């Protein structure tokens, strides 16, 4: 494969990844890393480095559109970023001492759990007011978002549980280069009882900061190569901007099943190849 062909293939894959990432709050890395590793034979640590760069670009592009539309809860995002950035630095340092086979298997297991949680109790957003608990009220985390042409209010619960899950999400971001959007969405949607569209859009707002914290560690260790990172970044950013246009009109149940189906297939491939030491 010539350098030009490789660049074009990486760009196409990354565009599709960015589109899915914007729809589900994953950030694209959940598709980019296994695609580069399994289909193109890129070393998984270089794939993770490129993915982290793309996650930063995705967050910059998609998050701006979501904030403008009034979906993202910036106050919640800023609070939870304290946990995710701390975890991201920890995960990035851990990755330097981990085998690529082990990373691939962990990646696959995380994706299977994310797919399962995505479709469990996958009821659509109703827009009904959910009363915030005491801590959420003190932090003024409740807000509203657009639903069927109106602004619907929602509350927030279980802030400590969400904060703890966000540290784990950050650690996975640094270790796997996925932006940890899957875990962030689950933490906000299932633990903190935030509507799914608000969870995905707030995740997109957060993932850039999380990725930047761990990308510096990968850069210092030489795992971010321009020939891989540049087409990945451009493709994911373009796909993410397209995905934002679709999200605001999409059905939540459909988003959950797309999310689950894609990452479940990738999870199986990552685990099999990790166990057989092909990665």
The pLDDT tens digits of the residues spanning 188-222 come to: 888 888 888 888 788 878 877 877 888 888 888 88
How many Å separate Cα 114 from the centre of its chain? 11
Nearest to 23 by CA among 265, 236, 269: 236
Rounded-to-integer distance, Cα 23 and Cα 247, Å:
6
With a threshold of 0.85, does the pTM exceed it? no
- Digitized pLDDT (tens) for each residue of the chain, 279 residues in all: 788 899 999 999 989 887 877 676 566 777 788 888 888 888 888 988 898 888 787 676 667 777 888 888 989 989 999 999 999 888 888 877 888 788 888 878 877 876 776 676 554 454 455 678 889 899 999 888 887 778 888 889 999 999 998 998 888 878 877 666 667 877 888 888 888 888 878 887 887 787 788 888 888 888 899 999 999 989 988 887 788 777 767 666 677 677 778 778 878 877 887 888 766
What is the per-residue pLDDT across 47-74, written as a single tens digit (0 to 9) for each? 888 988 887 876 766 677 778 888 889 8
């Amino acid at each position: 494969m010539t350098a030009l062909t490789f660049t074009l293939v990486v760009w196409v894959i990354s565009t599709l990844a960015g589109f899915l990432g914007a729809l589900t709050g994953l950030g694209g890395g959940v598709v980019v890393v296994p695609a580069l590793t399994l289909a193109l034979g890129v070393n998984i640590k270089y794939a993770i480095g490129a993915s982290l760069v793309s996650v930063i670009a995705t967050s910059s592009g998609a998050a701006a559109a979501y904030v403008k539309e009034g979906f993202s809860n910036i106050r919640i995002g800023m609070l939870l970023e304290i946990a995710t950035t701390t975890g991201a630095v920890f995960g990035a340092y851990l990755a330097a001492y981990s085998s690529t086979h082990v990373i691939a298997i962990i990646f696959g297991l995380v994706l299977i759990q994310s797919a399962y949680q995505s479709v469990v109790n996958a009821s659509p957003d109703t827009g009904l007011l959910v009363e915030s608990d005491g801590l959420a009220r003190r932090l003024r985390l409740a807000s509203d978002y657009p639903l069927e042409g109106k602004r619907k209010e929602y509350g927030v619960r279980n802030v400590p549980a969400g904060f703890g899950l966000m540290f784990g999400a950050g650690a996975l971001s640094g270790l796997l280069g996925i932006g940890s959007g899957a875990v962030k969405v689950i933490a906000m949607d299932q633990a903190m009882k935030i509507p799914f569209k608000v969870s995905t859009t707030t995740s997109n707002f957060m993932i850039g900061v999380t990725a930047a914290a761990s990308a510096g560690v990968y850069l210092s260790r030489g795992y971010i190569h321009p020939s891989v990172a540049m087409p990945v970044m451009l493709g994911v950013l373009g796909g993410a901007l397209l995905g934002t246009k679709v999200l605001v009109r999409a059905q939540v149940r459909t988003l959950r099943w797309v999310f689950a189906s894609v990452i479940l297939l990738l999870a199986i491939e990552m685990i099999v190849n990790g166990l057989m030491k092909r990665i």
